[in-house]
Chains A and B, each alone.
Chain A
Amino acid sequence: DTAVSQTPKYLVTQMGNDKSIKCEQNLGHDTMYWYKQDSKKFLKIMFSYNNKELIINETVPNRFSPKSPDKAHLNLHINSLELGDSAVYFCASSARPTGSYNEQFFGPGTRLTVL
């Protein structure tokens, strides 16, 4: 009965490859997010997605693209992987995008290592 789940838990790949990370939430939430936590443990928001409205952090390279087949899923596609993409990626969800009840619940994370 995991609330927010991600697959895979670990991902090791070569530079230049394209990879995807999947995220699913069974909380009935309207909004989902992707975060990147680097080696210095700084957690930075990459995307938020609510009712087909995508808000992108302007610092995120366009090699990263979120795709949402339905409200319960928000997958992250990464093209042409670079060494600097190595990090832990967290998916999160919240009941609402703003105001009350927008507290976020995080998935277990995906540790991406680019060689």
Chain B
Amino acid sequence: QKEVEQNSGPLSVPEGAIASLNCTYSDRGSQSFFWYRQYSGKSPELIMFIYSNGDKEDGRFTAQLNKASQYVSLLIRDSQPSDSATYLCAVGRGQNFVFGPGTRLSVLP
């Protein structure tokens, strides 16, 4: 069974701080890696995707991938209360995608 693991949280950070979200995966053949944000009662919204080792930055978000360690992370700089949501890590191999259980982030004003 291919697994994707995340800390369920809640992860609480003060407004303006850096939020660090982590994800590990078991399938070494995984090819694509995604971070989704899901507000309560809403659908998952793509935040970042990364395919190669290293860092990828987009605005306040940075995704980091380390395939050797089977680890992918998401950093959110200058966290805002509007960032409060559940963050889902997803790992793809071929046409199969496995989502983690999500980490609930709470940004405190």
Hey, which bits of chain A sit against chain B, CB under 8 A?
A: 31, 33, 40-45, 48, 50, 55, 57, 90, 97-100, 102-109
Residues of B within 8 A of A50 (CB): 95
Interface of A is mostly: loop
Q: What's the Cα separation between A100 and B92 when bound, in Å?
A: 11
Other-chain residue from A40, A48, A55, A90 in contact with B43 (beta carbon distance below 8 A): A90
Query: How many chain B residues touch the partner (CB < 8 A)?
Result: 23
12 intermolecular pairs with C-beta atoms under 8 Å apart? A31-B95, A41-B86, A41-B101, A45-B97, A45-B98, A45-B99, A55-B96, A104-B46, A105-B46, A106-B36, A106-B44, A106-B45
Contact assessment for A102 and B32 in the assembled complex, using a CB-CB cutoff below 8 Å: yes
Interface contact B49-A103, CB-CB below 8 Å: yes
**Which of B32, B43, B46 is packed against the most chain A CB atoms within 10 Å?**
B43
- Chain B's closest residue to A54 (CB) is B95
Residues of A within 8 A of B51 (CB): 99-100
